[in-house]
Chain A
Amino acid sequence: MMEITEGSHAVAEAVRLCRPQVVSAYPITPQTHIVEALADFVANGKLDAEYITVENELSALSACVGASAAGSRTYSATTSQGLLLMTEVVFNAAGMRLPIVMSIANRAVGAPLSIWNDMQDSISLRDAGWLQFYAEDNQEATDLHFLAYKVAESKEIQLPVFVCFDGFILSHTYEPIDMLLQEQVDQYLPKFDPAEKLDAKDPISFGMYATPEYYLEFRYEMDQAQKRAKDVIAKAGKEFGTMFGRDYSALTVGYLLDDAETVIVAMGSVCGTVKDAIDEMRAAGKKVGLLKIRVFRPFPSEEIAKALSKVKRVAVLDKNISLGAKGGATAIEVRDAMYGSMIPVKGYVLGLGGRDIRKKDIKEIVSLCENGIGDQFYGLRKELI
């Protein structure tokens, strides 16, 4: 059913439709509207869940770990400092193979304190074992939650998922959303059937101690589950498409790629701006395309190498920076995916801490890339440095 909704409220409604049994979260800008809306649903009897209020994010995710281990479908949401405060539990939730879904309204990380958008928070936890989905618009942000539970709870995977969408740019923006109905979601997403759960009558411990004889293999198994997730996402995304008309089987999505010479690789809401800039550049005769990365973990290396095999050059946009490394995480991983080809891959770190990315910036980056200039910050205010 079409409705005009704020991104956060659309996400909250999607979560409600997924029927989580336990929600635990701590409010933090720009995630607050999501958890406020869920608290309202629970208080008003529209969501039959235990809403556990806690003193901070570390406790929020800890409560989710306990609830998920006890066999409940479990949800949380956070961003930035809140996510980093959870870090220890983020790793543990993945190691215990608990299918928690957590929304990340992406925000910059302090210091300096910034409430504005970039992707430093979730990208910094890319090694934690969670799957990471990135939404371009609020329709995607909404739908990816259904997909997230479906994939996370699949017996072959049993890993938690971050559903990431840009703070403010998406979370606080009203867009038309085709919201699924409860019976549609119930059809797509069956009740959570945990592989194993805490039960006093049949005691079990989660995430037990592993000596050096076992630890390496546990990490290997997690990596294998990440790799299997590619097929599980493809299957669950296709099923979603068949049922509701929006296909999420692809880990990456191309825009005007077929004859493109310069291709921009990006994640999240900036892809909309990039498409508009591409349309204008195409009208002026420039063959530019976009490859959007929707799933960052598991990282779609083969898909990227294949999609970009015929292009002349690649410009990767990163709203994060691995300080001291060669740029942002996406550029580094895309370059790795392209290793062995002679196609130059240039990275651009931009938009950090909420700095606007405009169509003219995208055009400027394309011409920098055409001239072989890249692997640098873009848009620095020279008068400040």
Chain B
Amino acid sequence: MTLAVGCRARPGKSRDNKTGSWRVFKPSFDHEKCSKCGMCQTLCPEGCVHEDAEGFFDPDFTYCKGCGICATECPKEAIAMNQEEK
């Protein structure tokens, strides 16, 4: 990829900003505890939480910035934030 002169961007370009690189704490989703309420997906500021075929949720770590909002908001305390070694 080459840079656009003047950082001029067409729609969708923000996908190039891989916010996963910012992460210090990584969420881990425990499907045993999960009630499939979908709060994590609704509240994730990156919109990176996806629902799988069985109705469980997991983030896309390319964009999950580790903010911990999902873990704080999960009513089942099914999400743990662990410091990530890089």
A209-B17, A211-B17, A213-B21 known; A195 and B9 CB under 8 Å?
Answer: no
What distance in Å separates the Cβ of B18 from its nearest Cβ neighbour in chain A? 7
**Nearest neighbor of B1 in chain A, beta-carbon distance:** A214
**Taking the complex as formed, is A217 at the interface, i.e. its CB lies under 8 A from any CB of chain B?**
yes
What distance in Å separates the Cβ of A183 from its nearest Cβ neighbour in chain B? 32
Q: Which residues of A contact B5 (CB under 8 A)?
A: 97, 158, 195-196, 221
Say whether chain A's binding surface is mostly helix, strand, loop, or mixed: loop
Q: Which residues of B contact A218 (CB under 8 A)?
A: 3, 7
**Taking the complex as formed, is A181 at the interface, i.e. its CB lies under 8 A from any CB of chain B?**
no
What distance in Å separates the Cβ of B25 from its nearest Cβ neighbour in chain A? 19
Contact of B3 among A195, A196, A202, A221 (CB under 8 A): A221
> Which range contains the number of A residues in contact with the other chain?
20 to 34
**Taking the complex as formed, is A205 at the interface, i.e. its CB lies under 8 A from any CB of chain B?**
yes
What distance in Å separates the Cβ of B51 from its nearest Cβ neighbour in chain A? 27
**Taking the complex as formed, is B86 at the interface, i.e. its CB lies under 8 A from any CB of chain A?**
no
**Nearest neighbor of A198 in chain B, beta-carbon distance:** B8
A118 to B25, CA, bound (A): 54
Q: Which residues of A contact B3 (CB under 8 A)?
A: 214, 217-218, 221
Contact of A213 among B8, B10, B14, B18 (CB under 8 A): B18
Contact of A206 among B6, B18, B21 (CB under 8 A): B6
| B interface list, Cβ under 8 A from A | 3, 5-11, 13-14, 16-19, 21
| A interface list, Cβ under 8 A from B | 95-98, 158, 195-196, 202-211, 213-214, 217-218, 221
